[in-house]
């Protein structure tokens, strides 16, 4: 009964990120104005928060 076939992987892919929606007003209520907030690189570039040069330094 020793199958050499690989088992089918189930669930989220390895190193994947889960997300949740929260309202900005709720974040502002609990965070200080100087607080760092983690956002995706593409999202930050689209908003003009970082340049292409900065995004390469992050990677």
Model confidence pLDDT, tens digit, residues 4-23: 677 777 887 887 778 889 99
Distance (Å, rounded) from C-alpha 46 to C-alpha 31? 23
Cβ count within 10 A of residue 31: 11
> Residues 35-54: what's their mean pLDDT?
86
Distance (Å, rounded) from C-alpha 59 to C-alpha 40? 12
In the chain, where do the E strands start and end?
Answer: none
Q: Tens of pLDDT along 20-33?
A: 899 999 999 999 98
Distance (Å, rounded) from C-alpha 51 to C-alpha 55? 6
Q: What percent of the chain has pLDDT over 90?
A: 31
User: Over 80: is that where the pLDDT of 58 sits?
Assistant: no
Q: Is 41 helix (H, G, I), strand (E, B) or coil?
A: helix
Let me know how many helices (H) and strands (E) the chain has, helices first. 3, 0
The answer to whether the predicted template modeling score (pTM) of the entire model surpasses 0.85 is no
């Amino acid at each position: 009964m020793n199958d050499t076939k690989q088992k089918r992987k189930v669930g989220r892919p390895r190193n994947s990120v889960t997300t949740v929606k929260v309202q900005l007003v709720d974040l502002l209520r609990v965070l200080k104005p100087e607080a760092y907030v983690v956002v995706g690189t593409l999202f930050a570039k689209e908003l003009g928060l970082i340049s292409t040069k900065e995004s390469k330094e992050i990677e």
